[in-house]
Amino acid sequence: MKRRIGILTSGGDCPGLNATIRGVAKACYEQFGSEVEIVGIQDGYSGLINNQCKLMQPNDFSGILTTGGTIFGTKRTPFREMRVIGEDNVDKVKSMKKTYKDQKLDCLLTLGGNGTHKTANLLAEEGLHVIGLPKTIDNDIWGTSVTFGFHTAVDIATDVIDRLHTTANSHGRILVVEIMGNKAGWLTLYAGVAGGADMIVIPEIPYDINKLAAACEKRANEGKGFSILAVAEGAMDTEEAKMKKKERAKSRADAGLTTASNRIAGEIQTMTGLETRVCVPGHMLRGGSPSAYDRILATQFGVYAAQLIKEENYGMAVAKVGDVITANRLKDVAGKTKFVPADDQMVRTAREIGISFGD
């Protein structure tokens, strides 16, 4: 039976997307031989809406295991806008279904994070055969122990913190490194522990600025001339945690501060008199070649997706639970965020070695 498979990558990029694409393709060609065709969809759901598709050849997937980014390109097409008809008068859901039909697809693979999974589930509910694969450096997708891209980003963020130690020590400064993670703090937590940060600030554990300042002063009084704070971009203090998202944004705008890191740095310097600087590695955390771990994980995920196609088991999201590659129903995981529990083992580990969370 001939199979025609569409693949798209949506949302923010990360290392491991190409490795996953390669894993799917090689496994499909291995299992189905000449009875499979793979269609690359450009720029995520935007390409599906606008029928920007290309029939791929087996050699298109060679040499991409170690390459960062995605050969298909990616865009953010927010889930909340999927059923909204804008000024262009395009019915996005209708257009995606039409492209699926016009391309004669038997199934669609969507590589992405929470928003991508929500749209994938929407399409599954509309009758399309969809399989999701969990991509994000935030590691915040429900139902999977780990996402591809996460470990590489941890490696990069750890390297940033490592390098900050020497300059912070040389100048006797407090350095606040802002790490991606707007809702969940997994990346900041793991990189903070691996990089030897003195304080870790994540969205799930609201901080008290007085406690962070006291921790910096304590180190200074003990003769430690510098401190490193790993701060997730979505971090909030105890007062902000009581506010709604729009209220927090307005409060920060009124104060002239757009990020938690700048606010923390400014307040610590004012309170302690210690010179404080902010470092924002930003999109470097998304770039470059995937680590060996992510290459293996991505390949495993891709191969498992091919198995789901063979079984015609659709409406699923590939996952790793413990040491087992498996799958969840899309409708059970779409729209759910995996937050860091306050009593997570890694949080406990950090506390046991003296890392402050400012709470």
Q: What is the pLDDT of residues 127-181, one digit of tens each?
A: 999 999 999 999 999 999 999 999 999 999 999 999 999 999 889 899 999 999 9
For residue range 192-239, list pLDDT tens digits in order.
Answer: 999 999 999 999 999 999 999 999 999 999 999 899 999 999 999 998
251 pLDDT above the threshold of 90: no
Stretch 246-253: mean pLDDT: 78
Amino acid present at 6? G
Question: How is residue 137 annotated by DSSP?
Answer: T
Q: At what angle do helices 150-171 and 292-311 cross, to 10 degrees?
A: 160
Q: How many Cβ atoms are within 10 Å of 248's Cβ, its own excluded?
A: 18
3-state SS, residue 56? coil
Q: What is the 3-state secondary structure (H, E, C) of 71-94?
A: CCCCCCCCHHHCCCCCCCCCCHHH
1 falls in which pLDDT band (50, 70, 90)? Answer: confident
Q: Give the pair of three-digit tokens for residue 132.
A: 């999701």
Residue 244 banded pLDDT, cuts 50, 70, 90:
confident
- The helix (H) or strand (E) run that includes residue 130 is strand 130-134
What pLDDT does residue 188 have?
Answer: 98
pLDDT for 256 beyond 80: no
Q: Which has the closest alpha carbon to 301: 141, 121, 77, 101?
A: 141
From the list 13, 43, 138, 294, the catalytic residue is: 138
Q: State residue 154's pLDDT score.
A: 98
Cα-only R_g, the chain: 22
> Which domains does the chain carry?
3-148+290-333 (3.40.50.450), 151-286 (3.40.50.460)
* Distance, CA of 200 to CA of 191 (rounded, Å): 9
138 is known as an active-site residue = yes
Give me the sheet containing 3-9, strands edge to edge: 53-55, 36-41, 3-9, 107-112, 130-134, 316-321, 324-329
Measure the CA–CA gap between 102 and 232, rounded to whole angstroms: 43
Element (DSSP H or E) covering residue 218: helix 209-221
Pairing of strands 130-134, 316-321: parallel
* Residues 133 and 22: beta-carbon distance below 8 Å: no
Distance (Å, rounded) from C-alpha 18 to C-alpha 303?
A: 13
**Is pLDDT above 70 for 252?**
yes
Sheet containing strand 174-179, strands side by side:
199-201, 227-232, 174-179, 276-279
Between 77 and 303, whose confidence is greater?
303
Q: What is the Cα–Cα distance from 219 to 214, expressed in whole angstroms? A: 9
HSE (CB half, 13 Å, CA atoms) of 28? 32
More reliable by pLDDT, 218 or 259: 218
Amino acid, single-letter form, for residue 104? K
Across 29-49, average pLDDT = 96
Is the separation of the CB atoms in 111 and 294 below 8 Å? no
Residue 257 has pLDDT above 70, yes or no: no
Q: Report whether 338 contacts 139 (CB < 8 A).
A: yes
Average pLDDT taken over every residue of the chain:
94
DSSP 12-48: S--TTHHHHHHHHHHHHHHHHGGGEEEEEETTHHHHH
